[in-house]
Amino acid sequence: MDYREEYRKKLISAEQAAALVRSGAWVDYGAILSFPSLVDEALAGRALQLEQVNIRGCLCLKEPEVLKADPEGRRFIYNEWHFSGISRAFHDLGCCSYIPYNLGEGPELYRTGAAHRPDVAFVGVTPMDGEGFFNFGTVEKNKAVCDMAGTVVVEVNPSMPWIMGGYDERIHISEVDHIVENSKFQVGELAQSPPTEVERLLARRVAGVVEDGSTVQLGIGGLPNEVGRLLIEQGVKDIGIHTELFTECMMEMFHAGVITNAKKTLHPGRAVCTFAIGSRKLYDFLDHNAMIAGFPVDYTNDPNIIARNCKMVSINSAVQVDLQGQVSSESYGYRHISGTGGQLQFVRGAYASPGGKAIICLPSTYRDAEDKVGSRIVAGLSPGTIVTVPRTDVSWIATEYGMVNLKGKTVWERAQSLISIAHPDFRAALEEQARRFNIIPKGVP
């Protein structure tokens, strides 16, 4: 069937799309690469005509024009399911809010009505194929958003990679109300952050426990990239991928023959993910790549699904860990940094995997705004700090000084284990605090 006539009838301008929004509406932007840049620009142009428009996005890779047009938040109330560095900066200015949840819950929150039903959804997609399908490029929860929206507008972007499925990675033209063509903005890219020397040391410890035939999940940043590089250097064999985020280093591991997915117990031969962030080179690698399987985030991040991968290794970063084992990965006190994401779900899934390991990594110290050094391992989390992984779920914690497994340990054993991998300059103070607060009982030597 030729869908070109239906496409032509549904084609509108970005300005016409923005005109669909009314005051008080709930508007959803597509997640991550599916951010609708052209419609966002047009909607920003309507700022003075609107009031109390609620917008939800997820991990934006460019500054939303609606926020730039309304920095006081009087016209647009902007919310994100997960912060990027850009949304974090707007949050610091008081004009961007976070929505707490586990990333894998996203589709269900829309389909059950727990999240406000979108009046309008603006979602970036690939050009249409011959069967009338558009691909989201970012699978995540985009299909659920469109399924529940009152009006669905797709923004066609030729630079969007086509991620093969999986399922829910596509939307048919029959499910779309309007189409906007975007030839102005490319999909967002994110440069790799180089690892620090401490991250290099930490990555070496973590990479050393990844066995041949493991299935791996990596987060974003210099540390996970360095872990990937070391796995290449060490010649680890037959690594599989089951992750939410497909990264630049995973592409390099593919090229080096480290990732084969041959030994995976779930979806052998294919790397499972729900979104990707990186360079143009990465997007070109992913485009129509049959070795990649894009699934919605409620599948990739389901702990029961994750646990079906034998020897599943989850490697994620943290900001702060207290002596009882509580992990914060999303805030510095009251300052919100990122989000819960899929960390807790992958910790639970990897731990339940036969032969699996759930590893939380953090440098032992940080430098504050006054260039003073502080310990990331603390007696108690700083006021306002969000707990991302409860102490009951934590197993492996790693710093550049070692790795310890907290599972099955008493509170005082946990404290002693964590003190042993804290920076040496802070160990005595942590020991004193632990005894003063009765974290370590009197009789323990």
DSSP state of 165: B
Provide DSSP, 280-336: HHHHHHHTT-TTEEE--HHHHT-HHHHTTSTTEEEEEE-SEEETT--EE-SEETTEE
Place of tokens 């180089």: 194
Q: What is the mean pLDDT of residues 196-201?
A: 92
Q: What is the mean pLDDT of residues 402-413?
A: 98
Residue 60: the pLDDT is 95
Tens digit of each residue's pLDDT (9 = 90 or more) over 133-159: 999 999 999 999 999 999 999 999 999
Is the domain of 112 the same as that of 224? no
Indicate if the pLDDT at residue 262 is higher than 90.
Answer: yes
Residue 75: the pLDDT is 95
186 inside domain: no
> Model-level pTM?
0.96
Maximum separation of any 2 CA atoms in the chain, in Å: 81
Is the domain of 216 the same as that of 330? yes
Q: Given pLDDT bands bounded at 50, 70 and 90, which one contains residue 393?
A: very high
444 inside domain: no
Is the domain of 153 the same as that of 216? no
Phi, psi of 75 (to 5 degrees): -110, -40
Token digits of residue 299:
């599948």
24 inside domain: yes
Residue 194: the pLDDT is 86
Tens digit of each residue's pLDDT (9 = 90 or more) over 308-341: 999 999 999 999 999 999 999 999 889 999 999 9
Taking the alpha carbons at both ends of the chain, their separation in whole angstroms is: 78
Q: Given pLDDT bands bounded at 50, 70 and 90, which one contains residue 99?
A: very high
442 inside domain: no
Decide which of 157, 181, 205 is a domain's last residue: 181
Provide DSSP, 36-75: -HHHHHHHHTTGGG--SEEEEESS-SS--HHHHH-TT-SS
445 inside domain: no
Range of the domain at 71: 4-181
Decide which of 139, 154, 181 is a domain's last residue: 181
443 inside domain: no
Is the domain of 153 the same as that of 284? no
Is the domain of 159 the same as that of 207? no
CATH code, domain with 75: 3.40.1080.10
Average pLDDT score over the chain: 96
Is the domain of 245 the same as that of 336? yes
297 inside domain: yes
Is the domain of 16 the same as that of 86? yes
By DSSP bridging, strand 357-361 and strand 327-328 are unpaired
Please give the Cα distance from 353 to 213 (Å, whole number): 13
Q: What is the mean pLDDT of residues 232-261?
A: 96
Is the domain of 110 the same as that of 83? yes
Is the domain of 240 the same as that of 363? yes
Residue 369: the pLDDT is 85
Is the domain of 264 the same as that of 177? no
Please give the Cα distance from 97 to 81 (Å, whole number): 9
Q: Given pLDDT bands bounded at 50, 70 and 90, which one contains residue 219?
A: confident
Indicate if the pLDDT at residue 1 is higher than 80.
Answer: no
Indicate if the pLDDT at residue 221 is higher than 90.
Answer: no
Tens digit of each residue's pLDDT (9 = 90 or more) over 343-384: 999 999 999 999 999 999 999 999 988 999 999 999 999 999
137 contacts 126 by C-beta, under 8 angstroms = yes
Residue 15: the pLDDT is 98
Please give the Cα distance from 129 to 137 (Å, whole number): 13
Query: Which one-letter amino acid corresponds to residue 427?
Result: R
DSSP-assigned beta bridge partners for residue 170: 135
Is the domain of 132 the same as that of 227? no
Residue 97: the pLDDT is 95
Name the domain count of the chain.
2
Residue 220: the pLDDT is 80
Token digits of residue 363:
């440098």
By DSSP bridging, strand 312-317 and strand 53-57 are unpaired
30 contacts 136 by C-beta, under 8 angstroms = yes
Indicate if the pLDDT at residue 213 is higher than 90.
Answer: yes
Decide which of 119, 148, 181 is a domain's last residue: 181
CATH code, domain with 294: 3.40.1080.20
126 inside domain: yes
Residue 105: the pLDDT is 97
Q: Label residue 130 exposed, middle or buried (CB < 10 Å: 0-12, 13-18, 19+).
A: exposed
Residues annotated as catalytic (active site), given as ranges: 244
14 contacts 39 by C-beta, under 8 angstroms = yes
Is the domain of 115 the same as that of 240? no
Q: Given pLDDT bands bounded at 50, 70 and 90, which one contains residue 268?
A: very high
